[in-house]
Structure 1
Amino acid sequence: MFTPTNTALPPDFDSRHFRHALSQFATGITVITTRLEDGTLLGLTASSFNSVSLDPPLVLWSLGDRAQSLSVFTGNSHYVVNVLAADQRHLAEQFASRTENRFQGVEYTLSRTGLPILKGASAWFECFNRSRYPEGDHVIFVGEVEQCAALDQAPLVFHQGQFLTSKAL
Protein backbone atom coordinates (compact mmCIF):
# COMPACT_ATOMS: atom_id res chain seq x y z
CA MET A 1 0.00 0.00 0.00
CA PHE A 2 1.29 3.48 -0.87
CA THR A 3 1.63 5.91 2.04
CA PRO A 4 2.42 9.48 0.95
CA THR A 5 4.92 11.49 3.02
CA ASN A 6 5.93 15.14 3.13
CA THR A 7 9.66 14.37 3.05
CA ALA A 8 11.91 11.83 1.38
CA LEU A 9 12.68 8.69 3.31
CA PRO A 10 16.37 8.02 4.01
CA PRO A 11 18.02 5.91 1.30
CA ASP A 12 18.35 2.19 1.95
CA PHE A 13 21.68 1.98 0.05
CA ASP A 14 25.19 3.43 0.12
CA SER A 15 26.81 5.69 -2.49
CA ARG A 16 28.68 2.78 -4.11
CA HIS A 17 25.42 0.91 -4.73
CA PHE A 18 23.80 4.11 -6.07
CA ARG A 19 26.73 4.76 -8.43
CA HIS A 20 26.52 1.19 -9.76
CA ALA A 21 22.78 1.54 -10.41
CA LEU A 22 23.40 4.84 -12.23
CA SER A 23 26.05 3.18 -14.43
CA GLN A 24 23.29 1.12 -16.06
CA PHE A 25 22.08 4.26 -17.83
CA ALA A 26 24.11 4.93 -20.98
CA THR A 27 24.99 8.60 -21.40
CA GLY A 28 26.61 10.69 -24.07
CA ILE A 29 29.84 12.48 -23.28
CA THR A 30 30.19 16.24 -23.64
CA VAL A 31 32.90 18.81 -23.16
CA ILE A 32 31.60 22.12 -21.86
CA THR A 33 33.76 25.05 -23.00
CA THR A 34 33.95 28.73 -22.16
CA ARG A 35 36.48 31.55 -21.94
CA LEU A 36 37.83 33.50 -18.99
CA GLU A 37 37.86 37.31 -19.05
CA ASP A 38 41.60 37.28 -19.80
CA GLY A 39 40.99 35.09 -22.90
CA THR A 40 42.08 31.80 -21.34
CA LEU A 41 40.02 28.86 -22.63
CA LEU A 42 38.38 26.52 -20.14
CA GLY A 43 36.75 23.14 -20.73
CA LEU A 44 35.62 20.10 -18.78
CA THR A 45 34.10 16.70 -19.48
CA ALA A 46 30.48 16.19 -18.42
CA SER A 47 28.10 13.28 -18.94
CA SER A 48 25.16 14.98 -17.22
CA PHE A 49 23.70 16.61 -20.35
CA ASN A 50 20.03 16.55 -21.33
CA SER A 51 17.40 18.44 -23.30
CA VAL A 52 14.82 20.42 -21.33
CA SER A 53 12.56 22.27 -23.77
CA LEU A 54 12.06 22.89 -27.49
CA ASP A 55 10.34 26.25 -27.05
CA PRO A 56 12.38 27.99 -25.85
CA PRO A 57 15.32 25.72 -26.76
CA LEU A 58 16.83 24.71 -23.39
CA VAL A 59 19.42 22.15 -22.32
CA LEU A 60 20.92 21.28 -18.94
CA TRP A 61 24.12 19.89 -17.48
CA SER A 62 25.55 19.73 -13.98
CA LEU A 63 28.85 20.39 -12.26
CA GLY A 64 30.05 19.32 -8.82
CA ASP A 65 29.84 22.06 -6.22
CA ARG A 66 33.53 21.56 -5.36
CA ALA A 67 34.79 21.95 -8.94
CA GLN A 68 37.49 24.60 -9.29
CA SER A 69 35.78 25.95 -12.40
CA LEU A 70 32.35 26.37 -10.76
CA SER A 71 32.72 30.13 -10.24
CA VAL A 72 33.70 30.61 -13.89
CA PHE A 73 30.71 28.71 -15.25
CA THR A 74 28.40 30.35 -12.72
CA GLY A 75 29.60 33.85 -13.65
CA ASN A 76 30.01 33.58 -17.44
CA SER A 77 27.15 34.57 -19.70
CA HIS A 78 27.77 31.82 -22.30
CA TYR A 79 29.21 28.34 -22.77
CA VAL A 80 29.27 25.68 -25.48
CA VAL A 81 28.18 22.07 -24.99
CA ASN A 82 30.23 19.90 -27.37
CA VAL A 83 28.80 16.37 -27.86
CA LEU A 84 31.79 14.14 -28.49
CA ALA A 85 31.91 11.82 -31.49
CA ALA A 86 32.78 8.12 -31.17
CA ASP A 87 36.41 8.75 -32.16
CA GLN A 88 36.96 11.49 -29.55
CA ARG A 89 37.55 9.42 -26.41
CA HIS A 90 40.95 11.10 -26.09
CA LEU A 91 39.18 14.46 -25.68
CA ALA A 92 36.88 13.08 -22.98
CA GLU A 93 39.94 11.90 -21.06
CA GLN A 94 41.97 15.06 -21.70
CA PHE A 95 39.21 17.42 -20.52
CA ALA A 96 38.55 15.20 -17.47
CA SER A 97 42.22 15.29 -16.44
CA ARG A 98 43.92 17.67 -14.06
CA THR A 99 46.13 18.92 -16.90
CA GLU A 100 46.73 22.66 -16.60
CA ASN A 101 46.11 23.43 -20.29
CA ARG A 102 43.40 21.03 -21.43
CA PHE A 103 43.27 22.71 -24.84
CA GLN A 104 46.86 21.79 -25.72
CA GLY A 105 46.82 20.06 -29.12
CA VAL A 106 43.03 20.40 -29.45
CA GLU A 107 41.57 21.69 -32.71
CA TYR A 108 38.65 24.09 -32.39
CA THR A 109 36.90 27.01 -34.04
CA LEU A 110 35.36 30.00 -32.30
CA SER A 111 31.64 30.64 -32.02
CA ARG A 112 30.12 34.03 -32.75
CA THR A 113 30.67 34.97 -29.08
CA GLY A 114 34.30 33.77 -29.21
CA LEU A 115 33.89 30.45 -27.41
CA PRO A 116 35.63 27.22 -28.49
CA ILE A 117 33.71 24.65 -30.53
CA LEU A 118 35.65 21.39 -30.69
CA LYS A 119 36.47 20.24 -34.22
CA GLY A 120 34.78 16.96 -35.12
CA ALA A 121 32.18 17.08 -32.33
CA SER A 122 29.04 15.14 -33.20
CA ALA A 123 26.96 18.19 -32.23
CA TRP A 124 27.38 21.47 -30.37
CA PHE A 125 25.11 23.93 -28.60
CA GLU A 126 26.11 27.51 -27.82
CA CYS A 127 24.13 28.57 -24.78
CA PHE A 128 23.24 31.66 -22.82
CA ASN A 129 23.73 30.79 -19.14
CA ARG A 130 20.03 31.17 -18.29
CA SER A 131 19.84 29.74 -14.77
CA ARG A 132 21.60 27.70 -12.13
CA TYR A 133 20.14 25.52 -9.39
CA PRO A 134 22.16 24.13 -6.48
CA GLU A 135 20.94 20.59 -5.73
CA GLY A 136 22.73 18.12 -3.48
CA ASP A 137 26.45 18.17 -4.25
CA HIS A 138 26.05 19.64 -7.76
CA VAL A 139 24.86 22.78 -9.52
CA ILE A 140 22.43 22.29 -12.41
CA PHE A 141 23.00 24.71 -15.31
CA VAL A 142 20.16 25.47 -17.72
CA GLY A 143 21.31 26.97 -20.99
CA GLU A 144 19.20 28.72 -23.59
CA VAL A 145 20.51 27.53 -26.95
CA GLU A 146 21.38 30.40 -29.33
CA GLN A 147 23.17 28.33 -32.00
CA CYS A 148 23.63 24.62 -32.64
CA ALA A 149 24.87 22.22 -35.29
CA ALA A 150 25.11 18.47 -35.84
CA LEU A 151 27.50 16.43 -37.99
CA ASP A 152 25.36 13.26 -37.93
CA GLN A 153 28.14 10.99 -36.71
CA ALA A 154 28.05 8.35 -34.01
CA PRO A 155 28.45 9.80 -30.50
CA LEU A 156 30.79 8.64 -27.76
CA VAL A 157 28.81 6.83 -25.05
CA PHE A 158 29.60 5.95 -21.42
CA HIS A 159 28.00 2.81 -19.94
CA GLN A 160 28.95 0.66 -16.93
CA GLY A 161 32.17 2.62 -16.45
CA GLN A 162 33.34 2.20 -20.06
CA PHE A 163 33.50 4.32 -23.18
CA LEU A 164 31.58 2.82 -26.10
CA THR A 165 30.38 3.88 -29.49
CA SER A 166 26.63 3.92 -30.02
CA LYS A 167 27.08 1.02 -32.48
CA ALA A 168 28.38 -1.19 -29.64
CA LEU A 169 25.17 -0.87 -27.60
Structure 2
Amino acid sequence: MDEQAKKTALRGITYGLYVIGTKVGDDVNAFTANWVTQTSFSPPLVVVAAKKGTTSCDGIKSSGVFSVNVLETGQKDLAFAFFKPVSRVGNKFGDIEFYTEQTGSPILRDALSWFECKVVDVNERGDHTIFVGEVVNAGVHRQGDPMTLRETGLNYGG
Protein backbone atom coordinates (compact mmCIF):
# COMPACT_ATOMS: atom_id res chain seq x y z
CA MET A 1 0.00 0.00 0.00
CA ASP A 2 1.17 3.50 -0.79
CA GLU A 3 1.34 5.06 2.70
CA GLN A 4 1.13 8.66 1.46
CA ALA A 5 -1.89 7.86 -0.70
CA LYS A 6 -3.56 6.17 2.27
CA LYS A 7 -2.90 9.20 4.48
CA THR A 8 -4.18 11.64 1.85
CA ALA A 9 -7.30 9.57 1.19
CA LEU A 10 -8.16 9.15 4.88
CA ARG A 11 -7.65 12.87 5.52
CA GLY A 12 -10.50 13.43 3.07
CA ILE A 13 -12.98 12.19 5.69
CA THR A 14 -14.72 15.22 7.18
CA TYR A 15 -15.16 15.55 10.94
CA GLY A 16 -17.12 17.73 13.28
CA LEU A 17 -15.61 18.74 16.60
CA TYR A 18 -17.52 18.02 19.83
CA VAL A 19 -17.06 18.06 23.58
CA ILE A 20 -18.12 14.73 25.07
CA GLY A 21 -19.19 14.74 28.72
CA THR A 22 -19.01 11.83 31.13
CA LYS A 23 -20.18 11.17 34.67
CA VAL A 24 -19.02 8.73 37.32
CA GLY A 25 -20.80 9.09 40.64
CA ASP A 26 -20.73 12.79 41.47
CA ASP A 27 -17.68 13.47 39.30
CA VAL A 28 -17.95 14.79 35.74
CA ASN A 29 -15.37 14.98 32.99
CA ALA A 30 -15.22 16.16 29.38
CA PHE A 31 -12.99 15.70 26.34
CA THR A 32 -12.85 16.95 22.76
CA ALA A 33 -13.68 14.35 20.10
CA ASN A 34 -14.14 14.23 16.37
CA TRP A 35 -15.31 10.63 15.98
CA VAL A 36 -19.05 11.15 16.36
CA THR A 37 -21.74 10.10 13.91
CA GLN A 38 -25.43 9.21 13.86
CA THR A 39 -26.02 5.56 12.97
CA SER A 40 -29.81 5.12 13.24
CA PHE A 41 -32.96 7.24 13.05
CA SER A 42 -35.26 4.89 14.93
CA PRO A 43 -34.23 4.54 17.62
CA PRO A 44 -31.88 7.54 17.41
CA LEU A 45 -28.37 6.09 17.82
CA VAL A 46 -24.96 7.75 17.67
CA VAL A 47 -21.43 6.38 17.82
CA VAL A 48 -18.64 8.02 19.82
CA ALA A 49 -15.04 6.82 20.05
CA ALA A 50 -12.84 7.45 23.11
CA LYS A 51 -9.16 6.63 23.51
CA LYS A 52 -8.66 3.48 25.57
CA GLY A 53 -7.21 3.88 29.06
CA THR A 54 -8.33 7.50 29.53
CA THR A 55 -10.43 8.84 32.39
CA SER A 56 -13.10 9.75 29.84
CA CYS A 57 -13.26 6.31 28.26
CA ASP A 58 -13.36 4.65 31.67
CA GLY A 59 -16.08 7.11 32.75
CA ILE A 60 -18.37 6.22 29.86
CA LYS A 61 -17.80 2.50 30.48
CA SER A 62 -18.54 2.86 34.19
CA SER A 63 -21.59 5.12 33.99
CA GLY A 64 -23.14 3.91 30.75
CA VAL A 65 -24.01 7.48 29.74
CA PHE A 66 -22.46 10.44 27.94
CA SER A 67 -23.36 13.85 26.56
CA VAL A 68 -22.35 15.33 23.21
CA ASN A 69 -21.93 19.11 23.02
CA VAL A 70 -22.06 20.40 19.44
CA LEU A 71 -19.64 23.30 19.06
CA GLU A 72 -20.30 26.29 16.84
CA THR A 73 -17.98 27.45 14.11
CA GLY A 74 -15.48 29.85 15.68
CA GLN A 75 -15.33 28.02 19.05
CA LYS A 76 -11.77 26.77 18.54
CA ASP A 77 -10.70 27.92 22.01
CA LEU A 78 -13.57 25.98 23.60
CA ALA A 79 -12.62 22.85 21.65
CA PHE A 80 -8.93 23.19 22.55
CA ALA A 81 -9.78 23.65 26.25
CA PHE A 82 -10.77 19.98 26.42
CA PHE A 83 -7.80 18.52 24.55
CA LYS A 84 -6.05 18.36 27.93
CA PRO A 85 -7.35 17.70 31.46
CA VAL A 86 -9.39 20.60 32.84
CA SER A 87 -10.02 21.07 36.55
CA ARG A 88 -13.62 21.18 37.68
CA VAL A 89 -14.76 23.59 40.39
CA GLY A 90 -18.49 23.44 41.11
CA ASN A 91 -20.32 23.82 37.83
CA LYS A 92 -17.29 25.03 35.85
CA PHE A 93 -14.37 23.48 34.01
CA GLY A 94 -11.88 26.29 34.53
CA ASP A 95 -14.04 29.23 33.43
CA ILE A 96 -16.34 27.13 31.20
CA GLU A 97 -19.80 26.79 32.72
CA PHE A 98 -21.87 23.61 32.45
CA TYR A 99 -25.10 22.17 33.81
CA THR A 100 -26.59 18.69 33.90
CA GLU A 101 -29.86 17.17 32.76
CA GLN A 102 -31.21 13.62 32.60
CA THR A 103 -27.97 11.58 32.59
CA GLY A 104 -25.94 13.88 34.84
CA SER A 105 -23.29 14.28 32.13
CA PRO A 106 -22.05 17.87 31.64
CA ILE A 107 -23.75 20.13 29.09
CA LEU A 108 -21.74 23.22 28.15
CA ARG A 109 -23.73 26.46 28.33
CA ASP A 110 -21.78 27.84 25.35
CA ALA A 111 -22.40 24.82 23.09
CA LEU A 112 -24.59 25.32 20.04
CA SER A 113 -26.69 22.28 20.94
CA TRP A 114 -26.39 19.04 22.89
CA PHE A 115 -27.74 15.57 23.37
CA GLU A 116 -27.43 12.89 26.02
CA CYS A 117 -27.06 9.18 25.40
CA LYS A 118 -27.43 5.87 27.17
CA VAL A 119 -24.80 3.35 26.05
CA VAL A 120 -26.40 0.37 24.28
CA ASP A 121 -23.28 -1.28 22.82
CA VAL A 122 -19.50 -1.19 23.25
CA ASN A 123 -16.84 -2.33 20.80
CA GLU A 124 -13.18 -2.50 21.78
CA ARG A 125 -11.05 -2.49 18.65
CA GLY A 126 -7.73 -0.77 17.95
CA ASP A 127 -6.65 2.04 20.26
CA HIS A 128 -10.15 3.45 20.86
CA THR A 129 -13.35 2.13 22.39
CA ILE A 130 -16.48 2.63 20.29
CA PHE A 131 -19.67 3.42 22.19
CA VAL A 132 -23.10 3.22 20.58
CA GLY A 133 -25.48 5.47 22.46
CA GLU A 134 -29.24 5.88 22.25
CA VAL A 135 -30.22 9.55 22.39
CA VAL A 136 -32.44 10.03 25.46
CA ASN A 137 -32.50 13.84 25.73
CA ALA A 138 -31.52 16.83 23.58
CA GLY A 139 -31.57 20.60 23.49
CA VAL A 140 -30.64 23.62 21.39
CA HIS A 141 -29.09 26.76 22.88
CA ARG A 142 -29.11 28.76 19.63
CA GLN A 143 -29.05 28.41 15.85
CA GLY A 144 -25.70 28.40 14.05
CA ASP A 145 -23.23 26.39 12.01
CA PRO A 146 -21.48 23.43 13.66
CA MET A 147 -17.70 23.54 13.94
CA THR A 148 -15.50 21.24 11.85
CA LEU A 149 -12.01 19.99 12.50
CA ARG A 150 -10.79 21.67 9.33
CA GLU A 151 -11.30 25.19 10.68
CA THR A 152 -8.88 24.49 13.53
CA GLY A 153 -6.03 23.85 11.12
CA LEU A 154 -5.77 20.27 12.40
CA ASN A 155 -6.51 17.03 10.60
CA TYR A 156 -6.75 13.46 11.62
CA GLY A 157 -3.57 11.68 10.64
CA GLY A 158 -4.91 8.68 8.72
Please report the TM-score for the alignment, with normalisation by the length of structure 2: 0.83
Amino acid at match of 1:23: R
What letter is aligned with 1:90? D
Percent identity, aligned pairs only? 29
1:20, distance to aligned residue in structure 2 (A):
4.1
Paired AA for residue 148 in structure 2: V
Q: Where in structure 2 are there 5+ consecutive unaligned residues?
A: none
Give the Cα separation in 1 of the matches to 2:105 and 2:53: 24
User: What is the aligned-residue RMSD (CA, Å)?
Assistant: 2.3
* Aligned equivalent of 2:143: 152
TM-score, length basis structure 1:
0.78
1:79 to 43, 56, 66: 66
TM-superposition CA deviations, 1:53-105 (whole Å, max 9, x none): 01011001111224343222111121101111113211210101244558111
Q: Is the 8 A contact 2:76 2:152 kept in 1?
A: no
Does the residue aligned with 1:27 lie in a helix, a strand or coil?
Answer: coil
Which residue in 1 is equivalent to 2:21?
33
8 Å Cα contact 1:23/1:160 also seen in 2? no
What does residue range 57-136 of structure 1 map to in structure 2 within 5 Å? 57-101=44-88, 103-136=93-126
Report Cα offsets for 1:16-66 as digits up to 9, x if no partner: 7644433222211011102221x2220000000000101011001111224
Q: Name the CA shift for 1:94/1:36 in 2 (closer, same or farther; >3 Å).
A: same
How many pairs align? 150
Query: How many angstroms apart in 2 are the aligned matches of 1:108 and 1:91?
Result: 12
| 1:99/1:108 CA distance change after superposition, 3 Å | closer
* Unmatched 5+ stretches in structure 1: 1-11, 164-169
> 1:112 corresponds to which letter in structure 2?
Q
